[in-house]
């Protein structure tokens, strides 16, 4: 009889270490032995909003470890004073504080790609490779989910969560001893990053094209054929100049608005693992309903709350907070419920073409009108009467509403297709990082 746990066999060519099973020819070392390091210092007194060194501070980090410009600079005339904090090409800049309790930014690093361009502020730390490790490899390693999770585990609570320099520099890391393999891994991941960046730019371009089309089509400045043939001119209205055969109406003229169930009707304790989804504010996406992290309720609660069910063609609005957020309900959401933080718009007439109004509800002028009429001092909020009273544009022809909606729907489909490809590429990258940065898959 064998007692105790059966020891998992280590594959040939691998070894057990404090960071897990890695190839025999890889090294394990503390971050502080692979890099020299230096903390930043407060530079706010030198900030300007026009030109100079780009400031690297807490607001410049994305959750994926990319530089996000906040428009803060330090003039080059201050170079002598701030010289020791100017970052060099190949340096990594790590964020030591995070405003959020979940720590999405803390411990992330930026890879500095140019000399004499960036200067670090307080709450950041410079990491400069001592030659044993490729900066590019280290950038991907530290920003990987499994290492970032370890760094967040070292954080300490406060007004902002933070990590001590000594703690993070004592973090053990693994890497190929051969720098050629480090470079090969970094290059492979850089290629995927380049594809991700190109897809993000393509999405931004397609969104810009769609926004321009919305500005033209949803205001009647551009008419689709054949509706342009009978165009008689424009007229001045509360919402600006519109075609003569269009009208300005209120949402309440064409739709009923209903508030979601009060808090006493539905509690978090009512949620179940498998049941009917209930959407709330965070599920209202730019192009429809997001299905991530949907709470669910039992069949019994679904029957009890049937007055709050959704149909295809409904539009769900945020009632509190981000009151300009809204999303169209599609056939796959039929029968779902909406929470007390939402308002449901349901059109009275089948000829309304809900998708036309959904597109209009996503335009900047409409969102601004919503924000202007929202009430509440600490948090913006809407109610049924306020939403019913908001003005919208309405072409007199159902066929024109459908034609405009069709053009914009096709644009949304195109954007969604590229977004799906982007999401899949991001998932592939995460899998590659898990394989390559632990030596499970070897490139050399």
User: What does the block give as tokens for 11?
Assistant: 């594959």
Per-residue pLDDT at 176 = 96
**429 has a pLDDT exceeding 60:** yes
Per-residue pLDDT at 101 = 61
What is the DSSP code (8-state) at residue 235?
E
pLDDT tens by residue, 17-46 = 999 999 999 999 999 999 999 999 999 999
379: number of Cβ within 10 Å:
11
Nearest to 404 by CA among 363, 365, 356: 356
Which is more confidently placed, 26 or 3? Answer: 26
pLDDT tens by residue, 260-298 = 987 667 777 778 888 999 999 999 988 889 888 899 989
The single residue listed with the structure tokens 């053009």 is 407
pLDDT tens by residue, 198-245 = 999 999 999 999 999 999 999 999 999 998 887 779 999 999 999 999
pTM for this one?
0.85
Sign for the CA dihedral angle at 262, 266, 268, 269 comes to positive
**6 has a pLDDT exceeding 50:** no
Instruction: Say which CATH superfamily domain 14-175 falls into.
Output: DNA methylase specificity domains (3.90.220.20)
**114 has a pLDDT exceeding 50:** yes
Per-residue pLDDT at 98 = 83
Per-position DSSP letters for 187-217, written without gaps between them: HHHHHHHHHHHHHHHHHHHHHHHHHHHHHHH
What is the DSSP code (8-state) at residue 184?
H
**10 has a pLDDT exceeding 60:** yes
Asked if 178-231+397-444 and 246-395 have one fold, the answer is: no
Residue 111's contacts (CB-CB under 8 Å, 6 or more residues apart) are 65, 90, 92, 135, 136, 139
Q: Where are the domains of the chain?
A: 14-175, 178-231+397-444, 246-395
Sign for the CA dihedral angle at 429, 430, 436, 440 comes to negative
Per-position DSSP letters for 312-378, written without gaps between them: TT-EEEE-BSSTT-EEE--GGGTT-EE-TTEEEEEESSGGG-HHHHHHHHTSHHHHHHHHHH-B-SS
Q: What's the average model confidence in pLDDT over 307-312?
A: 95
**1 has a pLDDT exceeding 60:** no
Asked whether the beta carbons of 257 and 338 are under 8 A apart, the reply is no
Cβ density class 112-144: b for 16+ within 10 Å, e for less: beeeeebbbbebbbbbbbeeebbbbbbbbbbbb
Using a pLDDT cut of 90, give the percent of the chain over it. Answer: 79
User: What does the block give as tokens for 326?
Assistant: 């809204």
Per-residue pLDDT at 232 = 76
Q: Which CATH architecture has domain 246-395?
A: Alpha-Beta Complex (3.90)
Per-residue pLDDT at 410 = 97
Backbone phi and psi for residue 184, each to the nearest 5 degrees, phi listed first: -60, -40
Average predicted confidence (pLDDT) for the chain: 92
pLDDT tens by residue, 121-136 = 999 999 999 999 999 9
What is the DSSP code (8-state) at residue 282?
G
Nearest to 307 by CA among 337, 277, 281: 337
User: What does the block give as tokens for 321?
Assistant: 């907070």
Nearest to 112 by CA among 85, 78, 144, 145: 85
Class of domain 178-231+397-444: mainly alpha
Asked whether the beta carbons of 424 and 8 are under 8 A apart, the reply is no
Per-residue pLDDT at 9 = 85
Give residue 171's pLDDT band: very low, low, confident or very high (50, 70, 90). very high
Flag the least confident range among 315-319, 373-377, 417-421.
373-377
Helix H or strand E segment including 437 = none
How far, in Å, CA of 443 to CA of 132, rounded?
19
Flag the least confident range among 301-305, 404-408, 431-435.
301-305
Residue 38's contacts (CB-CB under 8 Å, 6 or more residues apart) are 84, 125, 126, 128
């Amino acid at each position: 009889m064998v007692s105790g746990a059966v020891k998992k066999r280590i594959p040939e060519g691998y070894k057990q270490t404090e960071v897990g099973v890695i190839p025999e020819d890889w090294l394990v070392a503390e971050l502080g032995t692979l890099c020299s390091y230096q903390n930043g210092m407060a530079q706010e007194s030198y900030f300007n909003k026009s030109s100079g060194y780009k400031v690297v501070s807490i607001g410049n980090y994305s959750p994926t470890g990319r530089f996000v410009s906040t428009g803060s600079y330090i003039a080059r005339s201050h170079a002598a004073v701030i010289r020791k904090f100017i970052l060099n090409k190949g340096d990594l800049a790590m964020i030591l504080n995070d405003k959020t309790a979940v720590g999405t930014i803390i411990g992330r690093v930026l890879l500095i790609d140019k000399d004499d361009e960036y200067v670090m502020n307080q709450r950041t730390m410079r990491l400069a490779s001592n030659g044993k490790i490729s900066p590019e490899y280290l950038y991907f390693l530290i920003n990987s989910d499994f290492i970032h999770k370890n760094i967040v585990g070292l954080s300490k609570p406060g007004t902002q969560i933070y990590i001590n320099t000594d703690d993070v520099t004592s973090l053990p890391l693994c890497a190929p001893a051969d720098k050629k393999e480090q470079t090969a891994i970094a290059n492979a991941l850089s290629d995927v990053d380049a594809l991700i960046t190109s897809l993000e730019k393509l999405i931004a371009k397609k969104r810009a094209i769609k926004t321009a089309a919305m500005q033209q089509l949803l205001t009647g400045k551009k008419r689709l054929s054949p509706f342009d043939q009978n165009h008689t001119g424009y007229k001045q209205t509360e919402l600006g100049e519109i075609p003569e055969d269009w009208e300005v109406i209120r949402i309440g003229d064409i739709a009923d608005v209903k508030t979601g169930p009060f808090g006493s009707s539905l509690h978090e304790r009512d949620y179940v693992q498998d049941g009917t989804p209930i959407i709330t504010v965070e599920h209202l996406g730019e192009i429809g309903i997001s299905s991530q992290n949907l709470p669910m309720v039992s069949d019994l609660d679904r029957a009890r709350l049937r007055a709050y069910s959704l149909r295809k063609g409904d539009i769900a609005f945020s009632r509190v907070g981000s009151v300009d957020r809204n999303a169209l309900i599609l056939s796959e959401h039929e029968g779902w419920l909406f929470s007390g933080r939402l308002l449901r718009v349901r059109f009275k007439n089948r000829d309304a073409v809900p998708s036309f109004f959904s597109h209009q509800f996503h335009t900047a002028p409409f969102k601004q009108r919503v924000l202007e009429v929202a009430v509440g001092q600490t948090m913006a909020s809407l109610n049924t009467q306020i939403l019913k009273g908001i003005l919208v544009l309405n072409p007199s022809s159902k066929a024109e509403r459908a034609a405009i909606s069709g053009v914009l729907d096709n644009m949304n489909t195109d954007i969604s297709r590229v977004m799906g490809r982007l999401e899949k590429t991001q998932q592939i990258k995460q899998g590659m990082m898990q394989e390559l940065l632990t030596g499970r898959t070897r490139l050399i």
